[in-house]
Structure 1
Amino acid sequence: MPARRSRLVPTEVRAELAASLAELRRSLDVPESFPAAVAAEAEEAARRVPTTPSGDLADLREIPFLTIDPAGSTDLDQALHLVRTDDGGAILHYAIADVPAFVAPGGEVDAEARRRGQTMYAPDGRVPLHPEILSEDAASLLPDRDRRAFVWRFVLDSEARPVETSLTRAVVRSRRQWSYEEGQRAIDDGSAPESLALMPWFGQQRAERERERGGASLNLPETRIVAEGDGYRLERSEGVPLEDHNAHVSLLTGMAAADIMVRGRIGILRTMPPADADDIADFRRQTVALGIPWRTDTPYGDYLRGLDRSPAARAVKEYAAGLFRGAGYAAFDGELPEETTQAAIGAPYAHATAPLRRLVDRWVLVVCEALVQGREVPDWARESLPDLPSLMNASGQRVSQLTAGALDRVEAAVLHGHEGTEFEAVVLSVRADVARVQLQSPPVDAKVHGLDATPGSTVRLRLVQADVSAGTVVFEPVDRTVGRGAR
């Protein structure tokens, strides 16, 4: 589906937007740069860590890996190679950047990474988890360079079920960096290499396996802030199918990592409790009210997968998102946690595929590799496991505030100067006399108090105010002024 794009932020408010974004960073204590000691240690690690095969580092450079990421990415965590086998199955190699090789436990880079928790993305610049000499160079799986990696090997049957899994540290060499859009075009026109050409088969089979285990994916369209020249615009897109197929590679790996740690009785899982019975009953009532009833004989995931792109279906997904909550991390050593399942996935799951951008993945990879190879988990990893849930939760909260705050400010900037203009919007949800709406164009979400409308309906709103410094917009209904609301 083509992306819906907004106009550029008006020139006259760009300075005000820049100041507002900078103040948002200050209010959240977002780091501006790496301390000198951290940068120096990273530079030394980039020079010191070998990238040549050795006795404990396999040589897998003959495998023609490739990477698939958003256009322009330089922090490349994953590379894959997928090939069919004679029995109708496949062999998937999935290389994950060997960040632990570059980060000394207890060192300066380690301490700074624990303070940051994860890479933060903002319109006025990315705030990386690790110094760029590591995240965008020495540890990144860039094409045509020898790189260290944890390599997962999955032997898959004809329905993409893993029948054999292994994990080893190795030296790999990616052949090409693909963007999602480039990869999708190559798949569509038949020019894709085998690894890419097989991704639709893999993604479709893994989606069916998700259905079987009771998992569910919302796949909501994402609003992105796109830098263009010296300004920004908003873009909302459903993405391309290759993004979903590629996500299933990460899901498969995360489930494999969780299984290894659960069987080894040490590690850290990403968990989510099942939806509360009252929430499910309320959601079912909402689907009836929206004219797309969720039948009792239809599994939840099947119902979501069957939704179309109509406004009513978008509203259903908005309510469904309320069931996907309570996600957290559970660290364990010996006794398993009470909750081991990620309910939306329908299986135990762990973050294991983005160590350049997420702190916890470094521990998961080290723990899994030790368990698979029959070695003791390193003391540094075992002893610090209990610290990870609080570190990741605090980081996640800050990232959410930064992401939401930046989007609010850019949305207000895009709308600035259009006070009095009428806009068409779809009502996504109504809770406690507050309607959440999405403008048709530009792709802006807002809240309106007292709007007399039902979810899934289309309404006309008039822009009253767009405050760039505060990141708020105020709309009033056109047909009948029953209230005003600020986002």
Structure 2
Amino acid sequence: MPARHVRVREAVPGPLREGLERLRQELHVPAEFPPEVVRAAEVAAENPRLPEKDLTDLDFVTIDPPGAKDLDQAVVIERDGSGFVVWYAIADVAAFVSPGDPIDVEARERGQTFYAPHMRTPLHPPALSENAASLLPGVVRPALVWRLPVDARGQCEAPTVERALIRSRAQLTYEEVQDQLDARTAPESLVLLKEVGLLREEVERDRGGVSLNIPEQEVHTEGDHWELEFRSTLPVEGWNAQISLLTGIAAAHLMIDAGVGILRTLPPAEKSSLRRLRATAKALHIPWPPEMDYPEFVRSLDSTRGDHAAMLYACTTLFRGAGYQAFENGSVPELSQHAALATVYAHTTAPLRRLVDRFVLEICAAICAGEEVPDWAREALPELPDIMAESDRRAKKYERGIVDLTEALVLAGRVGQDFTGTVVDFDAKKDRGRFMITQPAVEAFVKGSGLPLGQEIRATLTGVDLTTGVTTFVEVPERARREDAPNRKGRR
């Protein structure tokens, strides 16, 4: 499921920090690594298992948000006749981590990196994730390097992956790459990133898939006033994501053909979820014609607009039910597709930040080398879906809690005010629902009897708790709305 990251540009305010810390403890998100894990990582950083193959002559670069240190991927793209060769290097965590060692055991407990505005809780100790295993610029690193031939139509045939040494030439940000492309000063490899990215977006469109480019929520301050804004994604972020998706799709096909591996899956969306999304679009006053399908609607959204950014967040609800399906001995699971992508897919390109990717990479490397999948990777397959499901559960609750706390911060000074929003969900048994407010772009619980799904209501903000993120809205009764109507009409 796409992540909803919240960034606070200024210092995180005290009440929000307190709420974030309470949330972290409640969900058992660890703060530090045990001493034995730190020591094991420091030893492993000095003793990596290095491959013989040398690809340090390739001009790899990394493209990440500003300040990133856990660099999982590096890319270089070359022309090959009428097509391309995409070289995609992924950090080789298995060069440092051994099955059953303290780092491995701790990583299985965490499952993934957890993100919050005030801290990042990494999957692996910084000695590895931000140093020895990270594809930092100017230093030689072990990597699993994918060779992905892409033809002029954007199709990929005969992908391979093998261990090799690489050296990244530069650590770039999305903004830097976008600026170079816009100014026509980008090197050929980055120009080709745009070409291949656009081709792969067309391939995705043709097969009926869709990718969600989720904007970040940013909190800004003006004195004692807090505002919640969206940081829209840049085009290059979508093109770069297509390279990662290309790799994950290639990995899934390799494992399916070999009859062993683990897939990232998503069942088709339920009709009720699509109806709810249409109600949300109505709440945000975004046109969604009845004849327009979901993928086409998502592609029509502009993440630079606040209302469209809120809609993209709402679209993440269709990713409910995402999970992992492991298989071996040639038996491919019945649910093997990722419905949003409209193809098979595997998490492959973020082993520094997600546990399952290390195992997918190891399986694919063995398949391409014509070797048996290592016992340690095969033996982990039955338990990996449960490990990742529990980790995803915590990550989603953490993410939702952070969003609630952030929205509560923005609403804190407005208790007693009325807001107009559209009901997007209703639970008759609890006499409450959720409604979408346009300004600020917030979705919140509202108390009321017989709330009209898909229609606008007025509700009063009656309480905000900055330590729990709980906001309380109560519907303004119909009689009060009628009595106030002439006054509101007169005020116009």
Query: What band does the TM-score fall into relative to the shorter chain?
Result: 0.7 to 0.9
How big is the shift at 1:236?
A: 1.1
Q: Which residue of 2 aligns with 1:136?
A: 130
Following superposition of structure 1 onto structure 2, how do residues 238-317 of structure 1 map, counting pairs within 5 Å?
238-276=232-270, 292-295=288-291, 300-307=294-301
Report the Cα offset of residue 262 of structure 1.
0.3
- 1:286 is displaced (CA, Å) by 8.7
Counterpart position of 2:63:
68
1:390 equivalent in structure 2: 386
User: Aligned pair in 2 of structure 1 residues 82, 455: CA closer, same or farther (>3 Å)?
Assistant: farther
- Give the aligned residue type for 1:140: S
Q: How has the CA–CA distance of structure 1 residues 9 and 476 changed in structure 2, closer, same or farther, with 3 Å as cutoff?
A: farther
Q: Name the CA shift for 1:322/1:120 in 2 (closer, same or farther; >3 Å).
A: closer
Q: Report the alpha carbon displacement of residue 255 of structure 1 after superposing the two structures with TM.
A: 0.4
What do residues 417-451 of structure 1 show as CA deviations (whole Å, max 9, x unaligned)? 3434566x66472434623324434x544333349
Shift of 1:320: 5.2
Determine whether 1:407 maps to 2:383.
no
Query: Of 351, 372, 376, which aligns to 1:355?
Result: 351
Task: Give 1:64 deviation, angstroms.
Answer: 0.7
Distance 1:33 1:312, change over 3 A: closer
1:117 and 2:111 aligned: yes
Query: Which piece of structure 1 moves more, 283-292 or 347-356?
Result: 283-292
Residues 337-366 of structure 1 deviation map (CA, whole Å, 9 limit, x = unaligned): 111111111111000000000000000000
2:86 corresponding residue in structure 1: 92
Residue identity opposite 1:333 in structure 2: E
CA–CA distance in structure 2, aligned partners of residues 185 and 235 of structure 1: 22
Q: How does 1:24-39 map to 2 (within 5 A)?
A: 24-39=23-38
Contact 1:428 1:435 in 2 (8 A): yes
Please give the secondary structure, in 1, of the residue aligned with 2:175: helix
Cα distance in 1 for partners of 2:461, 2:31 equals 35
1:156 is displaced (CA, Å) by: 1.1
Separation in 2 of the partners of 1:227 and 1:59?
Answer: 50
Asked if 1:155 corresponds to 2:138, the answer is no
Q: 1:130 to 1:456 in 2, by over 3 A?
A: farther
How far apart, CA to CA, are the structure 1 residues paired with 2:197 and 2:155?
12
SS at 1:59's partner residue?
Answer: coil
1:219 aligns with 2:218: no
SS in 1 for 2:100: coil
Whole-angstrom distance in 2 between the partners of 1:7 and 1:97: 29
Identify the residue that residue 194 of structure 2 maps to in structure 1.
Answer: 200
Cα distance change of structure 1 residues 27 and 353 upon mapping to structure 2, 3 Å threshold: same
Please say if 1:472 is aligned against 2:470.
yes
Shift of residue 377, structure 1, vs aligned partner: 0.6
1:419–1:279 CA distance, 2 compared to 1 (3 A): closer
The answer (yes or no) to whether the contact 1:41–1:109 under 8 Å persists in 2 is yes
Q: Are the structure 2 counterparts of residues 364 and 245 from structure 1 closer, same or farther at C-alpha, using a change threshold of 3 Å?
A: same
Q: Report deviation, 1:92.
A: 0.6
- Counterpart CA distance in 2 for 1:30 and 1:279 is 30
Give SS of 1:163's match.
coil
- Aligned partner of residue 162 in structure 1, secondary structure: coil
Matched, 1:41 2:36: no
Offset from partner CA, 1:370-417 (integer Å, 9 cap, x none): 011001111111111111000000001111111211222233233333
CA contact (8 A) 1:214 1:299 kept: no
Q: Which runs of 5+ in 2 are unaligned?
A: 1-5, 482-492
TM-score, structure 1 as length reference: 0.85
The Cα shift of 1:18 comes to 2.4
- The structure-2 alpha-carbon separation of the partners of 1:76 and 1:7, relative to structure 1 and needing over 3 Å to count, comes to closer
Q: CA deviation at 1:185?
A: 1.3
Pick from 434, 445, 448 the counterpart of residue 447 of structure 1. Answer: 445
Q: 1:147 to 1:16 in 2, by over 3 A?
A: same
Which shows bigger deviation, 468-477 or 72-81?
Answer: 468-477
Given that 1:28 and 1:398 are in contact with CA atoms closer than 8 Å, whether structure 2 keeps it comes out as: yes
SS in 1 for 2:255: helix
Residue 460 of structure 1: how far off its partner (Å): 7.1
Write the letter of the residue equivalent to 1:201: E
Distance 1:349 1:187 in 2: 29
Q: Name stretches of at least 5 consecutive residues in structure 1 with no aligned partner.
A: 483-487
For residues 197 and 38 of structure 2, the distance between their equivalents in structure 1, rounded to whole angstroms, comes to: 40
Q: Is the 8 A contact 1:315 1:455 kept in 2?
A: no
1:293 shift after superposition = 2.5
Compute the displacement of 1:50 (Å): 5.2
Aligned residues: 464
Q: Is residue 92–residue 155 contact of structure 1 (8 Å, CA) maintained in 2?
A: yes
Structure 1 letter corresponding to 2:209: G
Structure 1 pair 269–410 and aligned structure 2 pair: CA distance change class (3 A): same
- The residue type equivalent to 1:238 in the other structure is S
Matching residue's letter, 1:43:
E
Q: Are the counterparts in 2 of residues 315 and 428 from structure 1 also a CA contact under 8 Å?
A: no
Q: Is the 8 A contact 1:313 1:456 kept in 2?
A: no
- SS of the counterpart of 1:216? coil
Q: 2:472 is matched by which residue type in structure 1?
A: V
Task: State whether structure 2 residue 368 is matched by structure 1 residue 379.
Answer: no
Q: 1:319 to 1:171 in 2, by over 3 A?
A: closer
> TM-score normalised to the size of structure 2?
0.84
Which stretch has the larger CA shift, 117-126 or 404-413?
404-413
Given residue 377 of structure 2, which amino acid in structure 1 is its aligned partner? A
Contact 2:137–2:168 (Cα < 8 Å) also in 1: yes
Distance 2:197 2:269 in 1: 26
Q: Percent identity?
A: 43
Residue type of the alignment partner of 1:150: L
Look up the equivalent residue of 2:29 and give its one-letter code. V
Which AA in structure 2 matches 1:30?
A: V
